[in-house]
Amino acid sequence: MTTLNSLGLPKAPAATRVVVAMSGGVDSSVVAALLKDQGYDVVGITLQLYDHGAALAKKGACCAGQDIHDARRVAEAMGFAHYVLDYENAFREAVIDEFADAYLAGATPVPCIRCNERVKFKDLMATARELEADCMATGHYIQRKLGPLGPELHSAADANRDQSYFLFSTTPEQLAFLRFPLGHLASKAETRALAARYGLSVADKPDSQDICFVPNGNYAAVIEKLRPGAADPGEIVDLQGNLRGTHQGVIHYTVGQRRGLGLGGLGDPLYVVKLDPATRRVIVGPKEALATRTITLKEINWLGDAPLTSRAEWPLSVRVRSTRPPRPALLRPVSATTAEITLLAPEEGVSPGQACVFYAPEGSRVLGGGWITCAA
């Protein structure tokens, strides 16, 4: 019987090449150090995803110039090869352009999902295969478990660090090649303890909070730079069409927003309930107007054992925002890639452009997800 190594491959670690996607943060650095310590043939790769000059001026983002330097230092300290690849054009075409266009269309995009789907787990994985790697490892907090029909995707052991929302579009073929060595850890403190044990310079490096190409979370400034004229002014109206105020661009607002509307005064607070870019209108209403029970999805990635369309209805749990827990729902397939979700209890602030991620009703298994096109 062939003995499998810790990555589930029938080779000695020294004969197993692992490409590690290194962002320069503590998580991916620990993955690289851990695998090197276990005797694997580690190759670290860091992607330069946007303008390096601008990146150098911004600290704490996952793709900044400092992060490339930090990843290189970890590789030097642990004694494995490290490469920096210029993916700037691919990243702009696959992620940034869609991000800007989605905001202009009144949606609320999640670029980190597209980055994983179109750059890290597609282009970078192709590079890993060209380097004759046996697998690719990342620092994501998610688990890959072997089920009766092959690898399955599961939530991380630490619910506070779980990144399954951002990885729902991982395909079975990709999952066969990927490894997530941190997904079983009980807390981020364990990761930092490992970094300290290996003497890594990034052991105390803070986690990045922003989208890497959006300094200080200022989405509107980035979109205005990418799409001049995007911040045209318009009207703020209520659900009855009454004028309640004016705004300086639809791109400054998201569904569910309450603060910053400039609509002070008496009465119940108002929330953004809809964006209409065609008329440059921001529609506001009471909190109860945000309640959603029905969600329409496109571009579904299904990870269940049976085909999505093999049943008329699937009881499962869904997460409609990365910061919310999964909630009970019914999924009714329309096709292999489209469906309608009925939430058993209404959710507030569900927005087109966000992801809806599926989980098994019990346990930790991720069953895929899709992109929200409509919420009612």
Whole-Å CA distances, 186 to 142, 166, 177: 12, 19, 24
Assess contact for 25 and 136: CB atoms under 8 A.
Answer: no
Assess contact for 343 and 351: CB atoms under 8 A.
Answer: no
Tokens of 142: 């998610």
Backbone angles phi, psi at 319, to 5 degrees: -120, 120
Q: What is the 8-class DSSP label of residue 354?
A: S
Residue labelled with tokens 């080779």: 11
62, 112, 212, 356: the catalytic one is 212
Q: What single-letter amino acid sits at 171? A: T
63, 115, 135, 356: the catalytic one is 115
> Among this protein's residues, is 115 annotated catalytic?
yes
Question: Within a 13 Å sphere around the CA of 320, how many CA atoms are in the beta-carbon half?
Answer: 27
Whole-Å CA distances, 198 to 106, 111, 367: 46, 32, 36
Q: What is the 8-class DSSP label of residue 266?
A: S
Q: In whole angstroms, give the CA distance from residue 277 to residue 285.
A: 17
> Among this protein's residues, is 212 annotated catalytic?
yes
Q: Which of 261, 259, 287, 262 has its CA nearest to residue 273?
A: 287
What are the start-end ranges of the H helices in the chain?
26-37, 52-56, 65-78, 88-91, 97-104, 111-115, 124-130, 172-177, 188-197, 219-226
Q: Which residues are catalytic?
A: 115, 212
